[in-house]
Structure 1
Amino acid sequence: MPRQQPDRNRINRHKERGHYDTETIHAILDQAKICHVGFNMDGQPFVIPMAFARQGNSLLLHGAPNSRLLGQLASGFPVCVTITHLDGLVLARSTFHHSMNFRSVVAFGTARPVNDLEEKHAALIALTEHLTPGRTTLARAATDQEVMATAVVRFEIEEASAKVRRGPPLDSPKDRQLDVWAGVIPIHSVEGEPIPAPDLKPELCTQEPVKPA
């Protein structure tokens, strides 16, 4: 279970925005589709964006077998995974007090390769369902050969913390007298209308891309 670790996991600035409970951390993870994976190789830091899915207290990641990142992960190197949702731009009466409303998670741990064929199938199904719920009931399932040609790693969360900012700007009492608009511009991530593939059969253009829950 994620727990506070003073040496690398404690939130020092705006401690009141910090959360260490599993429920908050998992909720933020589950609402994201992209994570950023940070690792160090030969003294050079790298941060790579990747699709992911949470399964229990682990994150599932996949890619090409010759991926440098997945090779590092599979070798047991320590890794940091971050996720951020930008929920709004916070506009104060002074530029100094401008801010953002957000939800973020920073997770630390190590990963292991998923080599068992059945486990890899399940992991790839979980990834597809996380990105597009219901899609695996409509699309062709991956073959054993396709699964074997894909690298999958399971990142076990050892420690994690969440940080959340909500609410209006925090102007100083003096600035509140200024005749300047202040407030929040909300930011939402929404899915647009599906765009059929150019080679899709005409009779399938109106078909739903995913099966409703």
Structure 2
Amino acid sequence: MSEFAKESRNKIVRGAKRGTYDKKAIYEILDAGFLCHISFVMNDAPFMIPTAYARQGDKLYIHGSVKSRTIQETKKGTPICFCVTHLDGLVLARSAFHHSVNYRSAIIYGTAHEVVSDEDKNEALRLITENFLEGRWNEVRQPNQKELDITSVLEIDIESASAKIRTGDPVDDQEDYDLDIWAGQLPIKRIYDKPVADQLLKEGIEGSKAAHLAWEKSKQ
């Protein structure tokens, strides 16, 4: 199926015309980011945490300390709501009321289970690291056994999802288009600045190719 089924938990009610259930569009939003917010209920109270992630197929991967309350709770199969949002610009209307933003936002629903084998954990950590900064995994020391033992990795099955996307100009009241007020868009882009070396870096160490490439792409 090319779309997620519309159901009660993922149905877009407000602004439905901006919504989509298309898997390709939703996965593109996920793949364009590396920071998500995960919400869940524990002991009858809502919780939300930001964390890094990666996607492979219809699976999402997150990691954390084996002592993390979030990890301990969600690996039980507690339902998860997973959100990724990109802010693409401010939309400046002629009236204060109609100011808005251009954005891409995906909401994922699913359940998690713990990745057990060291080989699978290491692969998931590679995916998360590469999603954090492409090319970085091959520049660094790989996780050792102690690090793997104190780290939990969760695999989240994407069971349901939807996205909302807004693009374009402000939408004003018809009579306001005659006002002598500037209106338009203020685009927002995520950029990287020039890499700054660690103060404790040994002399003679060449710069990170992955970081330098990300910086160069930002200047384009």
TM-score range, shorter chain: over 0.9
Conserved? CA contact 2:90–2:185, under 8 Å? yes
Deviation at 1:6, TM superposition (A): 2.5
Please give the secondary structure, in 1, of the residue aligned with 2:180: coil
Conserved? CA contact 1:114–1:154, under 8 Å? yes
* TM-score calculated relative to the size of structure 1: 0.95
Q: For residues 146 and 209 of structure 2, what CA distance do their matches in structure 1 show?
A: 25
Conserved? CA contact 2:52–2:62, under 8 Å? yes
Find runs of 4+ consecutive structure 1 residues off by over 6 angstroms.
none
Q: How does 1:68-83 map to 2 (within 5 A)?
A: 68-83=69-84
Deviation at 1:172, TM superposition (A): 1.2
Partner of 1:210: 210
Please give the secondary structure, in 1, of the residue aligned with 2:24: helix
Q: For residues 65 and 188 of structure 2, what CA distance do their matches in structure 1 show?
A: 33
Q: For residues 7 and 115 of structure 2, what CA distance do their matches in structure 1 show?
A: 31
**C-alpha root-mean-square deviation of aligned residues, in Å?**
1.5
Q: For residues 209 and 51 of structure 2, what CA distance do their matches in structure 1 show?
A: 23
Q: For residues 107 and 163 of structure 1, what CA distance do their matches in structure 2 show?
A: 12
Deviation at 1:100, TM superposition (A): 0.5
Conserved? CA contact 2:6–2:21, under 8 Å? no
Partner of 1:54: 55
Deviation at 1:208, TM superposition (A): 2.6
CA distances 1:74-116 after superposition (whole Å, capped 9, x unpaired): 1000010011000000010000111000000011010000111
Conserved? CA contact 2:139–2:208, under 8 Å? no
Conserved? CA contact 1:91–1:99, under 8 Å? yes
Please give the secondary structure, in 2, of the residue aligned with 1:95: coil
Q: For residues 3 and 185 of structure 1, what CA distance do their matches in structure 2 show?
A: 32
Q: How does 1:174-185 map to 2 (within 5 A)?
A: 174-185=175-186
Please give the secondary structure, in 1, of the residue aligned with 2:111: strand
Q: Which has the higher contact order (CA 8 A, sep 6+)?
A: 1
CA distances 1:145-196 after superposition (whole Å, capped 9, x unpaired): 2112111000111000010000000011100011111000011111111110
Partner of 1:193: 194
Q: For residues 36 and 10 of structure 2, what CA distance do their matches in structure 1 show?
A: 18
Deviation at 1:202, TM superposition (A): 2.6
Partner of 1:24: 25
Deviates more, 1:7-16 or 1:65-74: 7-16
Query: Is residue 2:18 matched to residue 1:11?
Result: no
Q: For residues 194 and 65 of structure 2, what CA distance do their matches in structure 1 show?
A: 30
Among all aligned residue pairs of Structure 1 and Structure 2, give the percentage whose two residues are the same amino acid: 42
Q: For residues 64 and 5 of structure 1, what CA distance do their matches in structure 2 show?
A: 35
Q: For residues 61 and 97 of structure 1, what CA distance do their matches in structure 2 show?
A: 37
Partner of 1:67: 68
Amino acid in the other structure paired with 2:43: D
Q: For residues 7 and 121 of structure 2, what CA distance do their matches in structure 1 show?
A: 35
Deviation at 1:121, TM superposition (A): 0.7
Q: For residues 196 and 207 of structure 1, what CA distance do their matches in structure 2 show?
A: 8
Q: How does 1:41-120 map to 2 (within 5 A)?
A: 41-120=42-121
Amino acid in the other structure paired with 1:49: P
Please give the secondary structure, in 1, of the residue aligned with 2:120: helix
Residue correspondences, number = 212
Q: For residues 127 and 145 of structure 2, what CA distance do their matches in structure 1 show?
A: 16
Conserved? CA contact 1:109–1:155, under 8 Å? yes
Amino acid in the other structure paired with 1:82: C
Partner of 2:38: 37
